[in-house]
Amino acid sequence: MKILVTGAAGFIGFHLSVRLLARGDQVVGLDNLNAYYDVALKKARLAQLQEQNGFRFLCEDLVNRDSIAALFSECTFDQVVHLAAQPGVRYSLENPHAYIDSNIVGFLNILEGCRHHQISHLLYASSSSVYGANSRLPFSVRDRVDQPLSLYAATKKANELMAYTYSHLYGIPTTGLRFFTVYGPWGRPDMALFLFTRKILANEPIPVFNHGQHQRDFTYVDDIIEGVVRVLDCPPNATTNTPPDPGKPTSPHPGLPYQLYNIGNNQPVPLMIYIQTLEAVLGKKAQLQLLPLQPGDVPDTYADISELEQAVGFRPSTSVRTGIERFVAWYLDYYGTTGS
């Protein structure tokens, strides 16, 4: 198939593009290569993709409505995977306009492209951040998510509502995936594992928020990609979202080609255990800078993935120890033992 992957130079977009190309799909990768984090890392990911047949890259901003409309007119896409967004909970407190531009306006332009060009499936990235102040664990897609703790979370919830509207009005099959703390090789420098590794190797203290009392559903990127591909190949439709009989669980969206799933490891790990595992892999102790809970953060995340498992057989298999070992091996190969 011919698939548009937005955010192709990003962490998850890069790994997904590699997987789709390996199975023979054509991938048009779109990214604006913004400077939220190291552009050289994004270009290095792209260099890996551009060596493969079937990949075409476009440096374009989703906010440019005319350019996105022209892209959909020029290319006949079968499916769209929309991963591009302005990420980061804390950065949303500093630069809120970037989140409205990229995450709201940009997503609208993608929805309009899908609407006018008969896209068979739009799969888009949501986030575990939408659970906000929800204190019931594990987080279920059937929980209410109307207490976002950051603008980033609010924009991701808005994406889910926008997709619902387009599925309702225009019959576009849409699936949102609420990602839970993805990590692994080629990861983002602003994420905990990357940041901790760099600072430990540089003999610098690592910031540990909430005095280390977090637990996170850390999910290895290969497991995430396996789940994304399985969901991509199973677009929702009105028939499958209609309850088959009164004795079985009902779909939360009966009669619509619309679906939401959590995609996570389903095994939350205390942050201090995560740090200790990294110390063991690096063979080096961390200097801890214990700090209070940051505005916008939630204490714990824990994904209920039962609905995703039932729908596509998704079950993560990578242990935290194995995932950290693979990340560190990549990091040392890419940056060297100095870590920079």
Residues serving a catalytic function are: 152
DSSP 12: H
Q: How deeply is 259 buried, as exposed, middle or buried, from its count of CB atoms within 10 A (0-12, 13-18, 19+)?
A: buried
User: φ, ψ for residue 107 (rounded to 5)?
Assistant: -65, -35
CA–CA distance, 225 with 203 (Å, rounded to integer): 33
Contact of 42 with 33, CB cutoff 8 Å? yes
List of residues 6+ apart from 318 with CB closer than 8 A = 220, 222, 223
CA–CA distance, 165 with 185 (Å, rounded to integer): 36
- C-alpha distance across the termini of the chain, in Å: 39
